[in-house]
Structure formats: structure tokens, C-alpha cells
């Protein structure tokens, strides 16, 4: 993971070279170029599209907490690094996760599986003309490394008969090592000054989760790839859209 993070960081440093102003000409907001803060991101999604009633009552929210640091490298450009963490609850009972096992058709016994999500991301913000980074409306692009697994890694998922849920048919193991993939993101946002040396941050964006362990998912779900298939699908669904709101402090 360290090699991936280093590669991502170097890529961003090269990418912003054309935008950055020499350090002596970078004023920063109120003379400060480094800001640190935290954001909470969430968005709603639906689990059941059977009818209007099920659609409404299956509405759920997924949350992530982000710790971020941003450094101004030009009048309209800033570079940042973020660490996201979350525990999300993914539904495991659906026709997508019914599969053959030991000559019978099985499904998970529990309705939900808890997933632990960790993301290290590097991003670049480009602010609109007539605004001084890191304050004002902006566009943000980011790339990060994602690690995810069950909240109790190395645990197992009990499989029951799809026709007789009271009958246990087997066990689907969850590896101890976390799964991984790459996150690509785009956000539009606004940083509004409030109090002295502080500002609120609002943003709406989309996230794409690609590569990593995703290619290991086969067309047919089995007990060996079940946990990966389910959690990989749900991190995409739960985190594709997000609204972020947070608070930052101009540190240096």
C-alpha cells in the first residue's frame, strides 16, 4: 500500500506543476497556506425497488468521516491529502447472493454484514477566478487507495438453505487481509469563511471504485468469492454519490 500511495502522491505533484505559482508568490488566504479539518460525507440510497412502499422504507444512509489537510500552491490551486474511515452496514439478503454450494442452493443467514472502510486519498482543488485558495467555489479531483473488509476480519458468514432458512448448509470464510481497490473522484464545492482563520466546507461529488481485487470477482458467486463480491458491489453503491460538510482551520 505504501508504494501505491507514493505513486499517487508523485502523480499529483507532477500534475499540478503547470498550475502552481512559485512559493514566494503564493499568498494564501489571510497569509496562511496550510489548513486542516474534518468532513462528514453521506448520501441516501435505496435497497428495494419492488414498489413505492418498499422503495421508501428501504431508504438508507451511508456515512464516512474524513480528516483532511490542504496546502495552497497557487492563487487558485491547492493540494490536499485525506484519510477516510467508516463502518457501513451492507445488506446480504437478495437474489444476487443466492448461489450453489455443496449441491444445494444457499444464502447468507444474516440480513446484513458490517464492513470497515479505509481510504487514503490525494486531491487537487482548482478555485474559480477572483477567489483565493482555499476559500470560495472550487472543482476537486482526487485519487486514492481503498482498503475494506468485514468489521471482524477473519470471521465467517453462515450459509443457510435458500428454501429452508433454518437449515445451516455451510460457511463462507472472510479473509483476514483486507480487500483493495482504487478510488477516483470528482467534487464541486464551496469553502465559506467563518470566524477568524476558520471556514466551512460544502461539496457534492461522485466516486468511482476500480481495479484492485475487483477482477477476482467471477460471473458465478461461490463461497470463496462471496464476501468480496458482496462488499465490492456495496462500497460502489453506498459511496458512489456523496454530500460533504465540514469545518477547517487555517493553521499556518
pLDDT at 99: 85
pLDDT at 4: 56
SS3 18: coil
pLDDT at 18: 43
Q: What domains sit in the chain, N to C, each tagged with a CATH number?
A: 2-250 (2.40.160.20)
Nine cell digits for residue 34: 496550510
pLDDT at 9: 54
pLDDT at 212: 86
pLDDT at 20: 46
| Count of CB atoms situated within 10 Å of the CB of 132 | 15
pLDDT tens digits, 172-222: 888 889 999 999 999 999 999 988 889 999 999 999 999 888 777 766 788
pLDDT at 24: 44
Kindly list the strands in the beta sheet with 156-161, ordered across the sheet, starting from the edge strand earlier in the chain: 99-101, 104-108, 156-161, 168-173
18 burial level (CB within 10 Å; 0-12, 13-18, 19+): exposed
pLDDT at 60: 84
pLDDT at 22: 42
Nine cell digits for residue 117: 472502510
Low-confidence residues in the chain, pLDDT < 50:
16-24
pLDDT at 10: 56
pLDDT at 23: 42
Amino acid at each position: 500500500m505504501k508504494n501505491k500511495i507514493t505513486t499517487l502522491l508523485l502523480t499529483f505533484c507532477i500534475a499540478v506543476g503547470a498550475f502552481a505559482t512559485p512559493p514566494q508568490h503564493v499568498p494564501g488566504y489571510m497569509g496562511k497556506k496550510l489548513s486542516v479539518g474534518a468532513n462528514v460525507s453521506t448520501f441516501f440510497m435505496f435497497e428495494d425497488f419492488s414498489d413505492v412502499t418498499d422503495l421508501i422504507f428501504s431508504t438508507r444512509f451511508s456515512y464516512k468521516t474524513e480528516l483532511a489537510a490542504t496546502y495552497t500552491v497557487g492563487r487558485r490551486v491547492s493540494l490536499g491529502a485525506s484519510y477516510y474511515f467508516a463502518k457501513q452496514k451492507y445488506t446480504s439478503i437478495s437474489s444476487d447472493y443466492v448461489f450453489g454450494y455443496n449441491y444445494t442452493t444457499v444464502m447468507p443467514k444474516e440480513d446484513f454484514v458490517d464492513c470497515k472502510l479505509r481510504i487514503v486519498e490525494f486531491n487537487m482543488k482548482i478555485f474559480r477566478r477572483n477567489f483565493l485558495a482555499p476559500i470560495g467555489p472550487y472543482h476537486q479531483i482526487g485519487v486514492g487507495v481503498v482498503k475494506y473488509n468485514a468489521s471482524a476480519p477473519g470471521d465467517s458468514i453462515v450459509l443457510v438453505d435458500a428454501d429452508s432458512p433454518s437449515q445451516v448448509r455451510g460457511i463462507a470464510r472472510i479473509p483476514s487481509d483486507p480487500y483493495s481497490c482504487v478510488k477516483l473522484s470528482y467534487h464541486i464545492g464551496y469553502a465559506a469563511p467563518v470566524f477568524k482563520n476558520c471556514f466551512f466546507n460544502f461539496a457534492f461529488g461522485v466516486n468511482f471504485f476500480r481495479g484492485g481485487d475487483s477482477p477476482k470477482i467471477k460471473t458465478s458467486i461461490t463461497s470463496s468469492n462471496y464476501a468480496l463480491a458482496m462488499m465490492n458491489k456495496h462500497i460502489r453503491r453506498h459511496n458512489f454519490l456523496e454530500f460533504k460538510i465540514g469545518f477547517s482551520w487555517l493553521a499556518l
